[in-house]
Structures are given as C-alpha cells and as structure tokens.
Chains A and B, each alone.
Chain A
Amino acid sequence: MKNLFRILFLIISLFGFQYSSNAAEKIEYLKTDWSFKGLFGKFDRAALQRGYQVYTEVCSSCHSMKYLSYRNLAEKGGPEFSEAQVKAIAASFEVKDGPNEDGDMFTRPGKLSDKFVMPYENVKAAQAANGGAYPPDMSVLVKARKGGVDYIYSLLQGYEEPPAGITLDDGVYYNKYMYGNKIKMANQLSDGLVEYSDGTNATVEQMSKDVTTFLMWSAEPHLEARHQMGFKAIVYLIILTTLVYFSMKRIWSGIKTEV
C-alpha cells in the first residue's frame, strides 16, 4: 500500500513537472471566472448566445468558423437556441449551392445542415482583404493558442498605445498579450458596440468574456457531456477500486506477506 502511494505521488509530480515546463514562458493573463472550468463546469447559456451575437456582428466579417453548422447552435450543451430561432438565423444567410439542373450555381437561404458561411472565398482572398494577414479560422482557435481562453480574453482587451521607442508599420497594432506584441487585427471592441437582446450592458470586458465563452464551446462542443461522464466514470472507478481492494485483502489474508 505504501508503495502504491509512492507510485501515485511519482505520477502526479511527473505530470506537474511537465506542466510547469510548459508554462515556463508564461505571461500573466487577465483573469475572470469561467463557468465551464472545474469538475462540474458548464457553459453559461446566456453568455454563449451573447457570444454568438458578438461573433456574427463583429468577428464573422473576417473570421470563418468552418467546422460549425447552424444546427450546432440548437444542440444540447451549446447556446441552445430554439430550433425556430436557429432556422431563422440560418435563413438570414445566403448560401451558395448547386449546380442545378442547368449546371448553374445559385444562392439560397441557409438551412440547419449548412456550415457557417465563410466570409471569404478562400485564404488568398482573405489575405488580400486584410493587408496580407490571414484572419485564422476560429472553430478551434481556443485550443490552438497557448493560454487558451485566458489568452483570447486578454488579447481582446490588450490593445494599448505602443511604448516609446516602438514604431509600428501601417496596419500593425500594439497588443500587450500578443506574441511579439504586434498584431495585424485592429482593436475591434468598444463599449456599446453591440446591442445585446437580453439587455446586458455591452462593455468591452463583457463582450470579450461572452465571445471567448462562445469560442470555447465551438472548440469543445461536447465539453458538458465530457464533464458529466467524467464525474460518473471516476466515481464508478473509485467504488469498484474500493471493492476490489477489500476482495484483494480477503484473498491474500492467508498469505504471510505485505500486500
């Protein structure tokens, strides 16, 4: 038994060690409490819906979300808009389809099964419209950046005047959380930029938090199911382990040795 604790301790310290080596060049990000962290973490439904609003009204003019479909917006564990709402959302987008029987491409209103409409035809078009920088697809962005949600949340609020001595080229902005501090995206958020339908005050901080929550969901759409299943699985394993432990003690009771 003593050895077992030693093994467990070793495992935990090994991974702690790995984790700290990953975090060696850490910058202090802005902190906020995320509802989706922790053993029972869940998304804040209202924040997801507001986040979607910020994404459509602000981000989506440059950033695609190619792995998301409109149907996802109504699915369990997501923003959970009603099906009627999502149908209306989808229908508000023009989707290119075809070819039809005459061999022509045509546009039609979006359906639940359509992927999110892309702001640009292709990467080259996106670069041409943005001074050579490609606005990254945001579907898995949170998982693709060191620092994850805290990084995105901070970056959105990290715009400032460059310190003395740093000159910026045209179309380059200073952001204290960006890697190398130079970013090609201008500051997008300003207080009151969107008008939330639920009446929440649209401060920069609020919008950053909402849209980052939305991005976390888009990167991990099954996060809630994962947390729920995880808790059940671990409780089950702990109970089973306890039972097996006592069975083991019983079986080994006739043998003179340390178990």
Chain B
Amino acid sequence: MSDHEYTPKSKVGKWFNDRLPLLTLANHLTDYPTPKNLNYWWTFGGILTFCLITQIVTGLVLAMHYIAHADMAFDSVEHIMRDVNYGWLIRYIHANGASMFFLAVYIHIFRSLFYGSYKSPREIIWIIGIIIYLLMMAAAFMGYVLPWGQMSFWGATVITNLFSAIPLVGEGIVTWLWGGYSVDNPTLTRFFTLHYLIPFLILGLVVLHIWALHVPGNNNPVGIDIKKPSKDTVPFHPYIVIKDGFALLMFMIVFAFFVFYTPNILGHADNYIEANPLVTPAHIVPEWYLLPFYAILRSVPDKLLGVVAMLSAILILAALPWLDTSKIRSAVFRPLYKQFYWILVADVLILGYVGAMPAEGLYLLIARVATAYYFLHFLVILPVLGLKEKSLPLPLSITEPILGGSPNLSTAKNRESLKN
C-alpha cells in the first residue's frame, strides 16, 4: 500500500514485524499521505467510526440488561431506565446515537455526491459504503423494534408485510420472517439476534471501506488526482488526526445536547406505550432517517411496485459511478451539476417531510412529484449532464489555487512551459 518500505528500528520489532507486519500497518496509517485541502465535510468518516464504536459499546451494556421476550422486553427497558446504574445514560446515548449516526452518514454520502468521490478509481469504496448504509438501515429498524412499544410492534408489522408484495412466495416469506402468523415473540428474538450481529458485519465492511480507500487515497475538494506523497499532501498524523478530532468534538457537543436535554425528541411518544396487537396507532411513522424512502414507498399506488421503487431508490446509488458520465469529479468545476445537486438535496428533504405526513391530498401529490424527480436525477439528468455540460478548467495541483494562482489550466500550463 505504502510507497516506501518500513523496517522497525528495534530487533524485537523487526522480529515481530517479519512474522506479522502490524508495525508496517501502523506506520502506513500514521504516514498515510492525505490531501492537505480536505475541508470539514471530510471529517465525517472519522465521526462515523466513532458513532459505530459508540453504538457497539453502549449496545453491549444494554444487552446485558435487556430481555428479548415479548412479555418482558418493555419492562426490562424501564428497568434499565430506572434501576440500572446510569442505565438511562447508556440507553439515551444508544437511542440518540442511532440518529446521530444517520445524520453523519447522510452528510458523508452527500459529500461524496458533491465532490464526485464515487468516481473511478473509487467505485468499490462507494459500493461497500452503500452496503454499509443498507445494513445500517436494517440494524436501526430492528433496534427500534426491541423496546417493544407500539411503534416498534406496528413498524415491524408494516415493514415485514412489505415482503408479502413478492408474487407467489410473498406470504410464505412473511410467515417465515415472523416465525408465526403475526409479529410476536419469535420475531422479537430473531430481530434481537440480527440486531446484535449486524454491527459487527458493518465493522468488517468498514475495515474493507478504509482499506479500499487507502489504495487510491482520498479524493479532495478540487477533485483532481494528486501525487502522493508530495507538497499537496500531509501525513495523516498529526494533521488529519487533530482536525478529525476537533470536528468530532464539535459533533459530540450536539450529540450531548440531544442526550442530556431532549433525549426523546427524535422518538415517537407511542413507543412508550407497550406493544398491543389489538390497538393500531393513528399514524404509523418510521424514524426520521427512513422517511424519504417511506415517502417513495407510499407514493406508488401498487404495493409491489412501491416496494420496488423504494428498493431501487437505494440500489440506484450503487450504479452511480456508471450513471454519472462526467469525468470531472468535483462539483466546484461543474456549474450545472452544482445546481442540480442542490435541487436533489432539496428533493430528498421534501421527501422526508412528506414521509412524516399522512399520504393523502397535496402531500401525496408532492411525494409523487419528488419521487419522480429523484429517479429523473439519477437516470436522466446525470448521464446527459456528463455529456453536455461545459465544465470549468481544472487546476494542475492543489497548491495552484491556494498559492494565489488562478484555477486555470492554460495559465498553469504556460507557467510550466516557461519553467522548462
């Protein structure tokens, strides 16, 4: 991976490193040449690692006290909140941690969209990222079921019922998922098992995600390929470590505010009512981070097609490196794409909003238009734009625009030729 060979100084170190090159790895991670112009949107990778670890650690403690049984789950959560030492803290960190995790992952994804980080040679990093995102949604959904409140129960009923849309085998699959003929204790225990498993799968994929990142190195706000190491890069430690640390601390302040002062604002009141199969809540709403996809699901009148649309909305992202035909990565040099990018951001926010509203009247109409636009963006606008758009000239290096030179290819080339 690294361009230079590393030999430990001490004899013991060398002996160990020849057998298991952990020191080489540590050296690679410390020296890893990183573009020096990364902005704060790039700090969310580190923040996400923190979120994952936080969820795993708090989750382990919660699992020590939680009882995965339909008759006892709700009681055991209240036991954690009342009688376990600092149980309220652990649970509120875990519950709000899920929201913070998604907040960070959305920023991370949209950063990638803006700066074209998914483009060659980083397609694999991007696809692994999409798989991580899918697993996150599965983990979050199953985690929300565990407290066994009304929203847990009915959310689980609605989402698992989506599988019944599959022709022929649908009903059978739903019964198989439930382990019975409705959401009940067998559903709860298997969701608990999977909720415990998935974070470790995510952890493994994160290692692959970072490994794949370290092959070509980071993209950067200018989006051009840079020589590594060079005057355009800084070693990961201490430069990026301290910057990521600073951004993480800012993020933690926001996180702490939610945990300590409004711990329930992102949840739904109905989830403090114990699950009751005989009483359906007035509105069944998923957690905020799933709302855009919920809006897409409900905007299609046919159940099967709705499910297909919802899944496609996520899977289409995996094809993005090939749907976007432009060779220019950063939106900074793509004036038209930049505008469409912000329209897409607005579109997703609108979808999230109508996802929280009842699917009727004007809300339904807005959801349909926004869904259509979402697909239009990826299937039509991006491929066409890449071929038609007149992009701005790219600088030769990162140093170029910063040192006061114009981000202009021809002037830069002239200067190069003068030097020679």
Q: Footprint of B on A, CB under 8 Å?
A: 3-4, 7-8, 10-11, 14-15, 17-19, 21-22, 24, 39, 67, 72, 136, 139-140, 143-146, 148, 179, 219-222, 226-227, 229-231, 233-234, 237-238, 240-241, 244-245, 247-248, 251-252, 255-259
Contact with A along B79-94 (1 / 0, CB 8 A): 0011000001100100
Q: Which residues of B contact A248 (CB under 8 A)?
A: 242-243, 245-246
Q: Is the CB of A18 within 8 A of B82?
A: no
Contact of B242 (CB < 8 Å), options: A15, A139, A140, A244: A244
Given A21-B356, A221-B82, A222-B82, 4 more A-B residue pairs with CB atoms under 8 Å apart are A14-B349, A21-B357, A226-B92, A245-B246
Q: Is the CB of B252 within 8 A of A18?
A: no
Q: Chain A binding site: helix, strand, loop or mixed by DSSP?
A: helix
8 tightest A-B CB contacts, nearest first: A230-B260, A144-B272, A241-B249, A143-B272, A3-B40, A21-B356, A248-B242, A140-B272
Q: Is the CB of A227 within 8 A of B260?
A: yes
| Closest chain B residue to A227, Cβ basis | B260
| Closest chain B residue to A236, Cβ basis | B256
Q: What is the distance, in angstroms, from A222's C-beta to the closest C-beta of chain B?
A: 5
Interface residues of B in 231-271 (CB under 8 A from A): 234, 238-239, 242-243, 245-247, 249-250, 252-254, 256-257, 259-261, 263-266, 269-270
Q: Chain B binding site: helix, strand, loop or mixed by DSSP?
A: helix
CA distance A255 to B243 in the complex (A): 13
Q: What is the distance, in angstroms, from B237's C-beta to the closest C-beta of chain A?
A: 10
Q: Which residues of A contact B133 (CB under 8 A)?
A: none
Residues of B within 8 A of A (CB-CB), count: 49
Contact of A257 (CB < 8 Å), options: B37, B266, B269: B37
Kindly state whether residue B288 has any CB partner on chain A within 8 Å: yes
Q: Which residues of A contact B288 (CB under 8 A)?
A: 18
Q: Which residues of A contact B353 (CB under 8 A)?
A: 17, 21
A234/B36 contact (C-beta < 8 A), A4-B247, A240-B249 known: no
Q: Which residues of B contact A230 (CB under 8 A)?
A: 256-257, 259-261
CA distance A222 to B78 in the complex (A): 12
Kindly state whether residue B1 has any CB partner on chain A within 8 Å: no
A227/B261 contact (C-beta < 8 A), A24-B357, A143-B272 known: yes
